[in-house]
A and B are shown apart, each in its own frame.
Chain A
């Protein structure tokens, strides 16, 4: 372990319905969906039309800004629908999967040790693996022409109800090693992996040529941005690449087996799940294939991802490209009489104004999607700081972002944060501000103005 990161600020939101460590098999989903919006900021250029036959790994579209960045089909089958929105924007590409077989594009990966960084990048691009490599600042797909200062991998997910990688990736040790070997050749800097002290059996442990960091503290300890900030923060002009631990397995699989298979072991969790556990599925699978027969009755919200940063989906929705979690929580669309005044033991709050959650820090809650109040101007100060473990003034940066003051955003540290880092400030905000979307818009503005 090359360094210890101890975080004091942050917040663990304990929810009921954590996944038990068992993996259930599910029947193959009939339809798989790929949505270009999962690759933030990329404009898709379609390579196929409705009716085209695809294999797993066949490119479906490329990015307008760089045609080398391709997104490929997760399964073999037939493109059955291209859903478009306003101004013909491509919203989703739906693929009817072959029922009993899976054909793969033969990828022919290069040998890692003998290849140049350029050859490896070229392979990652044409095999559809490139979008798994993300870039900070801005939290977008990386640019293949860049050479990153360092590559960071968070070895654990600290979001509420998140999957435990030590369990879900335990049979991917070889794939992870292969992927890290590839990443090591893409940077002159180091590959950094952060783990909790309890992750002694993690499949990400014990690799040569990796700078390990031990991270202790509450969420957002698992956010890669926090880990970068506390080891070597980003300055203007610098590029850091980040890869999710779960995506290492997909990259490694392609190098070892020569095929693209976006397999994910997804934690299906939340208070509305009958038997919360893990499921082995492919990215783009229908949510219904996971939830079938395992949901409690009642009005609920299904989320692809976790309750802080995930995407709201219906049962007809699908598992988004980068997600390792599906969450089911109750919808909070009910009125509460005098809800703002009466003491309340059911809801969770950082504040003690009539809430008792601070008395029982380990109690788990079945939180609903109710906003618990209306949107207001920013009034309360000092609250964001409690859950924001950066040497950045969160409120000041948010206000600079709201006023689109690029110069000030830069000086206050916009490069060091991603929308997910503002999820906790958004959660605790008594004025119900939508911090994540404000920061996302701010980052998009920076891309446009500075690049």
Chain B
């Protein structure tokens, strides 16, 4: 490792000594700290520090996203070949999917990190690790057929409007990955809904290429078995289809303590409750669709495991997390069932609750303030 260390030492001294190059320090630093944890020591305050840093937290989320990513690659191939005659090996399916999905991942990271680095240089702050996660989330919540230039535009929009205008990672109100998806959804609706969920389905024209939710919204009957939905061999965004793969990711998030199990659990409860209410009404296809099957469909699981748990845009207090998660679940199914124009209710539900999260926290903290205020007044009255 010595030559690499020496290389970075030379680079670091160049950017810190040369006034013209000084502004590029965050760039050099970002690469340096990818390879080496810095030799920085504590100055005042605590002399020892916990081993964890944001890089490690973020990479834990990226690792948790790998099962949905790999399954997504397989499923893209599976859905494509399912519309064609003939038998194909699993490896063939995976290879096809990988060639469709990897460009999305590469474009997402390349464009997003370019914007991040540019902002770091312009504003003179360090490059934050937040985009490591966002960059992986975005390709997983779009259809495999999305043109790459659209993805690039959405990424630029998400990073700048979703995050940097608020001051960067940690300051944003909305989940940046969902901002990208919402942008695509409203800017290019024909590429984000309808018969586009199976790769090249328009060209081959053998099947409709709809998601199951889309079918339900149109009042069609869904014949797929619930096991198929659970495993994830259904059309949909790249990473959202497999509940199994998402649960593996959820396990990693909960085990490492990075993702809030409270939000995940309360969202499940909220969605189940709303589903039961809908079933009780049950006057059309979506309303009478079994409540537990709602949990297996669309982006719901992916949303509550990977999107709703984003610590920056979610509620921050423990009580607030329970309320926030519950309402995300409730509203996901509510939007899905009562507004079939937007079958992907979870995206809008999370974005809406992102906006509401500070209010939830405000109310939770206000009860603590109220309790303390009561004591303050009591003491003042007695003195």
Contact = CB atoms under 8 A, between A and B. Distances in A.
B39 A334 contact: yes
Interface string B32-54: 01111111111111111111111
Interface string A414-451: 00000000010011111110111100000000000000
B50 A350 contact: yes
Contacts of A337: 1, 35-36
B54 A434 contact: no
Interface stretch (A56-64, A75-83, A110-118, A351-359): A351-359
A329 B47 contact: yes
Which of A160, A233, A353, A374 has the most chain B CB atoms inside 10 A of its CB?
A: A353
A344 interface: yes
Interface string B7-41: 00000000000000000000000000111111111
B170 A377 contact: yes
Nearest to B383: A237
B373 interface: yes
Contacts of B169: 376-377, 379
A235 interface: yes
B256 A351 contact: yes
Contacts, number: 221
Interface residues of A, number: 76
A29 to B, nearest CB: 23
A382 B47 contact: no
A380 B170 CA distance: 9
B57 A370 contact: no
A349 B369 contact: no
Interface string A321-356: 000000101011111111111001001111111110
A367 B376 CA distance: 42
B60 interface: yes
Given A340-B56, A381-B316, A432-B49, A370 B383 contact: no
- 8 closest Cβ contacts across the A-B interface? A373-B53, A339-B37, A377-B170, A347-B51, A340-B55, A235-B379, A349-B51, A335-B36
Interface of A: 13, 15, 160, 233, 235-238, 301, 303, 307-310, 312, 327, 329, 331-341, 344, 347-355, 357, 367-382, 385, 391-393, 395-396, 411-413, 423, 426-432, 434-437
12 contacts: A233-B375, A236-B380, A333-B39, A340-B56, A351-B258, A353-B256, A355-B52, A373-B53, A396-B361, A412-B368, A423-B45, A436-B45
Given A333-B39, A379-B311, A380-B57, 18 more contacts: A236-B380, A301-B47, A309-B46, A331-B41, A332-B41, A338-B36, A340-B53, A344-B51, A349-B50, A368-B41, A369-B47, A373-B49, A375-B126, A391-B371, A411-B373, A430-B53, A430-B57, A431-B170
